[in-house]
Structure formats: C-alpha cells, structure tokens
C-alpha cells in the first residue's frame, strides 16, 4: 500500500494525484494547492497520511510496453470509466457515512455507465482484473463485484435494463458497511468473534438501507441481505434454504468470493486468477451454485493481460490479448523470438505454467 504523508507535501504546490483515506475514498483531488489552511483542516481531522492509487490502475501502465496502440487506447478508456465510477461511488458512500443519505441517481448513472462500457470492452475489463494490484477496500470491491455481476448477466443473456439492475445490486451489496465503525471495518488482521458478529450485521443493515431508505425493490436489495448465504446453509445472516434465494444473491455470492480471494489482505496473499478459478470450483455444490459458477469461470481471464507464461513448447511469453469466450487461449508475445503466438490459431499450444512474480512477492 503506497502512502504519502501530509508532511511530505510542501505548501503552494499543486497535488500531483488524487489522495485517498483508509476506506479508499477521495480526500483531496489532484491539482488542488496545498495551503496552511488545508493542512490545518486535515490535521484537525486526524489525517496525517493519504493512500495513493487505490484502484490499482496506475500500475497497469508499467505493462504498456507489451501492448499495441489499440489495446492501450482501450485500457485508457476503461481506466477512465472505472476511475469515474469509483469516484462517484466512494463520494456517495462517504456521504452516507457522514449524513446517512446518498444521491441514488449518481449510483444509477454509475451502473448505466459500467454496463455501457463493459458492453464494448468486456475483454479489457477481464484482462485487467488480474494485473491490477488490489488491496481490499470496500469501495473498490463494490465496483469490482458490479463489474462481475454485469459480465455474468451478459453470459445469462439478460438485456441491458436487467444488467443495470444486477450492477446496482452489486454496487450496493456492501452498503451496510457504511454503518460499521472504522475500528472494526479497517482493523488490520483477523476480527474477534464479537467483532465478526458486528461485521456480519452489514447484510441486514444493507438490506434495510436499500429497501427502506433508498426504496428499491427486492431485486436490488436481496443481494445485500443474501450474498453471504451458502448453498449448504452455513452462511449468514439466516442460513436459509438456497433454493429460495434471488438470482442476484446467488450471482453476488460467486462474484463476492472471487473478488475477495483475488484481493490482498493484511493477513493473506492474493490468489492469481487461475488459482481463484480452481478454488471456486472446489466449493461448488457446497457453497456456490454450480451452473452460475461454471458460467462465471468460463469468462474469467485466467491469464490476464501482462501475465508471464510458459508454453508446452518451452517458450516463455507475455499475454497481450484475450479472445472473447476463450480465456485459456490468449495471444502470447514471445520476446526472445520477436513474435506473437495466437493460441486460437496454434491449437496444439497450451499454457503449462504462470511466471508472474508480482503477487508472489506481495503481502
């Protein structure tokens, strides 16, 4: 996690990038001038340092040397929509924390923008998921769950209006966490049993906020209440019969677990996408719906853009493009030979190993 201390920013200088608090919400916007007054305000609110690049998108640029111009253009577009969505969601959720209210039109607009953008650049979204180094922040997690909910809705052949409702259910599924105290929400390390019980309240609280305060129907509210339910009845808050759950809740459960295991926590390393896919398949029929999980993993870019791989002909390469619907057969650049291997054309080639070291050294 990259930090910038307030003491490192001189007065009179424009701030070089957006600065975030520990929840991953924007505190100071890029371009703002540091003044003694702003410094005093921040210190009065006990803010001594900021987090940088909570979305993980800045880091993606370090892979640009591998990609062609069109791929880079598409990444930049995705990055803009993602960052904008994140800005909207984090400021509305922070407003919710402080005033108990939010502007639901901003959240609806965010769902609309994401559906539109994923409609055009689904492979870029999927391809970037694995190369963004993510710490686990509630707001980033909410956007990522919404992104996966949209991708899963598309696989289920749901129309755009339905995709938007699934996206809304995803964006809001953890909104109950806005009513949980920072001392528990941001606690580094594992929670005690009592703290865990309080944390688990976010399901009921979230459902209450969405249905009673924001006045959305069950289609949007259900995912908040039921995304921690499990097929064998071991989930919470109710431990109910899985068959009675809403489709959005079953979808949210898959997306939530996938995003949680591929994100970094203080006490555990992130799984790479191919590891997370294998993990999901070990919990189908026990915790997760088999058909939804199978559909989900069929979409996941198991070898995201920038992944270093070894092929069965012993060549080492870098994934530079992912084909729609064929995540295990990407285009791989072979730097030593100065050529591309398109695994959709060269059908005998297989990925035998992943060499990414980024996650291996992290945590």
What residues make contact with Fe ion under the rule CB under 5 A?
A: 174
Of 279, 314, 269, which Cα lies nearest the Cα of 300?
A: 279
Of 204, 217, 311, 295, which Cα lies nearest the Cα of 250?
A: 295
> Taking the complex as a whole, how short is the minimal distance between the CB of residue 100 and Fe ion, in angstroms?
20
Query: Given the complex with Fe ion, which of 164 and 174 has the nearer CB atom?
Result: 174
Contact 169, 219 (CB under 8 A): yes
Query: Given the complex with Fe ion, which of 214 and 257 has the nearer CB atom?
Result: 257
> Taking the complex as a whole, how short is the minimal distance between the CB of residue 137 and Fe ion, in angstroms?
13
> Taking the complex as a whole, how short is the minimal distance between the CB of residue 172 and Fe ion, in angstroms?
11
Beta-strand pair 49-51/3-5 = antiparallel
CA geometry: angle 282, 284, 285, nearest 5 deg: 125
Query: Given the complex with Fe ion, which of 128 and 224 has the nearer CB atom?
Result: 224
Query: Given the complex with Fe ion, which of 49 and 136 has the nearer CB atom?
Result: 136
The Cα 78–Cα 291 span in angstroms is 29
The Cα 236–Cα 18 span in angstroms is 37
The Cα 32–Cα 19 span in angstroms is 10
> Taking the complex as a whole, how short is the minimal distance between the CB of residue 228 and Fe ion, in angstroms?
6
Compute how many other C-beta atoms are within 10 angstroms of the C-beta atom of residue 91.
16
> Taking the complex as a whole, how short is the minimal distance between the CB of residue 227 and Fe ion, in angstroms?
6
> Taking the complex as a whole, how short is the minimal distance between the CB of residue 202 and Fe ion, in angstroms?
6
> Taking the complex as a whole, how short is the minimal distance between the CB of residue 253 and Fe ion, in angstroms?
10
The Cα 293–Cα 281 span in angstroms is 7
> Taking the complex as a whole, how short is the minimal distance between the CB of residue 235 and Fe ion, in angstroms?
11
Query: Given the complex with Fe ion, which of 174 and 259 has the nearer CB atom?
Result: 174
Q: What is the chain's Cα-based Rg?
A: 21
Burial of 11 (0-12, 13-18, 19+ CB in 10 A): exposed
Cis peptide before 237 (omega within 30 of 0): yes
> Taking the complex as a whole, how short is the minimal distance between the CB of residue 291 and Fe ion, in angstroms?
23
The distance between the two most distant Cα atoms of the chain, rounded to a whole number of Å, is: 65
Query: Given the complex with Fe ion, which of 174 and 289 has the nearer CB atom?
Result: 174
Please name the residue that has the structure tokens 């097929």: 231
Tokens standing for 264? 């970094």
Output the residue with the shortest Cβ distance to Fe ion.
Answer: 174
Query: Given the complex with Fe ion, which of 276 and 311 has the nearer CB atom?
Result: 276
Tokens standing for 342? 């398109």
Query: Given the complex with Fe ion, which of 186 and 345 has the nearer CB atom?
Result: 186
Query: Given the complex with Fe ion, which of 132 and 228 has the nearer CB atom?
Result: 228
The Cα 92–Cα 108 span in angstroms is 12
């Amino acid at each position: 996690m990259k930090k910038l201390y307030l003491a490192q920013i001189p007065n009179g200088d424009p701030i070089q990038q957006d600065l975030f608090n520990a929840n991953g919400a924007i505190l100071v916007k890029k371009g703002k001038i540091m003044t003694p007054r702003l410094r005093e305000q921040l210190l009065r609110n006990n803010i001594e340092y900021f987090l940088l690049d909570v979305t993980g998108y800045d880091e993606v640029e370090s892979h640009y040397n591998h990609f062609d111009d069109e791929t880079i253009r598409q990444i930049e577009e995705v990055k803009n929509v993602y960052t904008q969505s994140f800005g909207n969601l984090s400021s509305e959720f922070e407003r919710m924390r402080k005033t108990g209210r939010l502007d639901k039109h901003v959240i609806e607009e965010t769902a609309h923008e994401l559906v539109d953008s994923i409609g055009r650049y689904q492979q870029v979204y999927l391809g970037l998921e694995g190369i963004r180094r993510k710490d686990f922040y509630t707001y980033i997690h909410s956007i990522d769950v919404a992104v996966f909910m949209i991708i899963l809705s598309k696989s289920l052949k749901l129309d755009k209006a339905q995709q938007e409702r699934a996206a809304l259910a995803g964006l809001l599924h953890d909104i109950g966490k806005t009513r949980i105290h920072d001392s528990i929400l941001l606690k580094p390390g594992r929670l005690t049993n009592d703290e865990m019980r309080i944390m688990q309240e976010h399901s009921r609280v979230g459902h209450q906020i969405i249905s009673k305060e924001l006045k959305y129907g069950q289609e949007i509210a259900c995912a908040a209440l039921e995304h921690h339910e499990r097929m064998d009845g071991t989930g919470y808050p109710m431990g109910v019969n899985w068959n009675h759950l809403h489709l959005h809740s079953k979808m949210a459960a898959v997306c939530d677990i996938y995003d949680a295991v591929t994100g970094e926590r203080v006490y555990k390393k992130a799984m790479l996408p191919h590891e997370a896919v294998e993990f999901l398949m070990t919990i189908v029929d026990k915790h997760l719906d088999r058909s939804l999980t199978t559909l989900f993993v069929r979409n996941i870019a198991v070898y995201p853009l920038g992944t270093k791989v070894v092929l069965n002909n012993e060549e080492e390469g870098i994934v530079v493009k992912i084909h729609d619907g064929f995540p295990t057969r990407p285009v791989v650049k072979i730097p030593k030979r100065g050529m591309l291997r398109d695994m959709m054309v060269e059908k005998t080639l297989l990925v035998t190993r992943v060499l990414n070291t980024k996650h291996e050294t992290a945590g």
